């Protein structure tokens, strides 16, 4: 999504509170800004321009976030404001174009769906059910259990009534119950890194060793990945945390890992968020 043209508040717009002072999302003081857009106050009181607000919120979306929070410091402190701005406010104050609104809304939906990965719709009653154990695919629906007067469990993976012994972390015994993530890890092609010396035959897709989200490498750039979900940085080659990988190899970013290329993963790590 491009934001090539400059956007500026209309001084005649009475629905926006224009203020004097520097843009709290931009380090350039107003007197040195070549494009002197009027400044406006967000609901939290911090000052923005439509361009700085668009850029900041776009960056949040690209980091996988589904909430827009203020990064400015609270007045008189070194603590971040972190006030949450509703999308309706961002859309208005950033003067989002039709193209930008499409990009924002599509990515908001995608990121929010990923955030809700621990809740699914029961195939029996269609109510929302939360999975308590991330290592067990067998999930009990309380509403169906009460309604049917017998225990009702379904498979979190194939979303059909559970068949077979439980607990299970890989699949139930329904036909075609398949863990697509594990299948991808098993058959993904291998790559040779362009910028990392002597590293080849590395699987091109990995599950983050902390949270399990799937990550693909295009073989260009650094071997160290900062996960968009859990924010933990790890080495795509050896699957150790970056700090541990560097300690073993004495700070080598662009060379082989001390422990070599980690084999294909055969399970998806479960994220312990505590």
DSSP 144-207: HHHHHTS--EEETTT-SB--SSS--SS--SSTT---HHHHHHHHPPEE--SSSTT--SEESEEE
265 has pLDDT over 70: yes
pLDDT at position 222 is: 84
Per-domain boundaries in the chain: 18-115, 117-177, 180-248
Res. 198 pLDDT band, cuts 50 70 90:
confident
Res. 274 pLDDT band, cuts 50 70 90:
low
Q: In sequence order, what are the residues at sequence separation of 6 or more whose Cβ sits closer than 8 angstroms to the Cβ of residue 151?
A: 140, 145
pLDDT in tens, 199-251: 889 999 999 999 888 888 888 878 888 887 788 999 999 999 999 998 887 76
pLDDT in tens, 156-197: 988 999 999 988 877 899 988 887 788 889 899 999 988 787
* 18-115: in CATH 3.30.110: no
Tokens of 178: 């398949």
pLDDT at position 63 is: 80
34 has pLDDT over 70: no
- Mean pLDDT over 37-48 rounds to 91
- Mean pLDDT over 135-140 rounds to 89
CA–CA separation, 238 and 257 (whole Å):
6
* Helix/strand/coil for 274: coil
* Helix/strand/coil for 240: coil
33 has pLDDT over 70: no
Res. 3 pLDDT band, cuts 50 70 90:
very low
């Amino acid at each position: 999504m491009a934001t090539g043209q400059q956007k500026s508040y209309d001084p005649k717009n009475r629905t926006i509170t224009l203020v004097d002072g520097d843009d709290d999302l931009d380090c350039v003081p107003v007197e040195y800004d070549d494009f002197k857009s009027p400044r406006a106050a967000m609901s939290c009181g911090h000052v923005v321009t439509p361009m700085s607000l668009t850029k900041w919120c776009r960056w949040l979306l690209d980091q996988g976030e589904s909430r827009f929070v203020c990064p400015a410091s609270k007045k008189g402190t070194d603590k971040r404001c972190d006030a949450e701005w509703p999308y309706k406010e961002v859309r208005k104050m950033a003067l989002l174009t039709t193209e930008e609104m499409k990009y924002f809304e599509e990515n908001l939906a995608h990121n929010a769906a990923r955030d809700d990965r621990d809740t699914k719709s029961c195939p029996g009653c269609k109510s929302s059910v939360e999975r308590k154990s991330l290592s067990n695919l067998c999930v009990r629906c309380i509403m169906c259990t009460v309604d049917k007067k017998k225990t009702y469990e379904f498979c979190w993976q194939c979303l059909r009534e559970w068949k077979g012994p439980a607990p299970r972390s890989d699949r139930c015994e329904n036909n075609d119950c398949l863990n697509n993530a594990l299948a991808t890890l098993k058959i993904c092609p291998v790559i040779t890194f362009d910028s990392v010396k002597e590293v080849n035959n590395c699987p091109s897709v990995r599950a983050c060793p902390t949270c399990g989200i799937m990550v693909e490498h295009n073989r260009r750039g650094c071997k160290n990945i900062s996960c968009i979900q859990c924010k933990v940085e790890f080495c795509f080659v050896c699957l150790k945390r970056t700090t541990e990988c560097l300690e073993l190899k004495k700070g080598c970013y662009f060379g082989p890992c001390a422990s070599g290329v980690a084999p294909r993963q055969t399970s998806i790590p479960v994220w312990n968020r505590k």
